Amino acid sequence: MEVVERIEEMTEISKRARLRVGTWGGGGKSVILIPTMGALHEGHAALIEKARSLAGASRQVIVLSVFVNPKQFGVNEDLADYPRTLEADKRIAKAAGVDIFFNPKAEDVYPEGFATKVDIDDSLSKRLCGRTRHGHFTGVATIVTKLFNIIRPDKAVFGLKDYQQLLIIRRINEDLNLEVDIVGVETLRDPDGLAISSRNTYLSDKERRAALVIPKVLDMAVQMFKESGGGGTLKAEAMKEKLLKTIEKEPLVVVEYIELSAPLTLAPVESVVSGTLLAIAVRVGKTRLIDNRILTC
């Protein structure tokens, strides 16, 4: 695995891999990008595994980027505290089969005078997490567009836990003709059902136990939907009320939102039908956790 910090070097390696010349050349390789903010865990390993499965190992270059993007953190968010575990990240990435570990410096990504934002229409960016995380998706859209332009990947792999992020990235990709094949990967969970996240490391034992109410209500929703027969008779408000009541029994968990939405527009739905997105964000102590489920029978 090669560690690359310089943006120009990353662009050059990627270009050469595609053009069949130089060290990373030799066969018109496809370049697959996994953008991350580091603090790698089994969830990221699953993204890497997915990337490896996308083409024969000898015909692809897997680039994993690690960059804690300041522009996607609000003023009161956890930028300073975000776990930074660079050496462990390198070991995990290498063991999982990453070819290039791209770790650019913030001053190179956003040099003095940097003045561009990739802005997403409110209809996608101000719903769900965007209601409270002002500017978050602009920050995500800006860095992902930059990474796509630096690396020009053929494919890019993202986790479905950040469903709204994935939807927005698909939108940018289409709207700006970036022509990257965007691949979504199912959320990886601990055996007790909690979605694996870098932010889980903030949780105390007590908080972690309390957080299990999240997978619990997601399972409850699936059950309710199945019992309704899936024909649209189940009202979103009724489902939300029941799920909220369950969460409220857990004093350490404060709901930020729990929404039933159309999966492609994120518009709220009145009736729950097959394919409806159930998305949830809560605070457990100081830690913000999100999760989601697409409801099907």
Among 17, 31, 33, 37, binds ligand PAF (CB under 6 A): 37
Six token digits for residue 179: 């022509």
Site for ligand PAF contains 164 (CB under 6 A)? no
Q: Which is nearer to ligand PAF, 137 or 225 (CB)?
A: 137
Q: Report in angstroms how near the CB of residue 267 gets to ligand PAF at its nearest.
A: 23
Q: Report in angstroms how near the CB of residue 144 gets to ligand PAF at its nearest.
A: 6
Q: Which is nearer to ligand PAF, 36 or 200 (CB)?
A: 36
CA atoms within 13 A on the CB side of 127: 23
Q: Which stretch binds ligand PAF (CB under 6 A): 33-41, 220-228, 232-240, 267-275?
A: 33-41
DSSP one-letter code for 268: B
Q: Report in angstroms how near the CB of residue 98 gets to ligand PAF at its nearest.
A: 15
Q: Which is nearer to ligand PAF, 89 or 162 (CB)?
A: 162
Q: Which is nearer to ligand PAF, 172 or 243 (CB)?
A: 172
User: Is residue 134 among the annotated active site residues?
Assistant: no
What is the CA angle 151-21-149, rounded to 5? 15
Neighbours of 153 (CB within 10 A): 27
Among 35, 83, 130, 153, binds ligand PAF (CB under 6 A): 35
Binding characters for ligand PAF, 70-89, by CB under 6 A (x = yes): --x-----------------
Q: Which is nearer to ligand PAF, 136 or 208 (CB)?
A: 136
Rounded distance, CA 251 to CA 244, Å? 12
Residues between 196 and 255 that touch ligand PAF (CB under 6 A): none
Q: Cα dist. 143→28, 87, 181, 281 in Å?
A: 26, 23, 17, 23
Question: What is the Cα gyration radius of the chain?
Answer: 20
- In three-state form (DSSP H/G/I as H, E/B as E, the rest C), the secondary structure along 214-243 is HHHHHHHHHHHHHHCCCEEEEEHHHHHHHH
- The answer to whether residues 258 and 292 touch, using CB atoms and an 8 Å cutoff, is no
Positions marked active-site:
44
Binding site for ligand PAF (CB under 6 A): 35-37, 69, 72, 140, 143-144, 162, 165
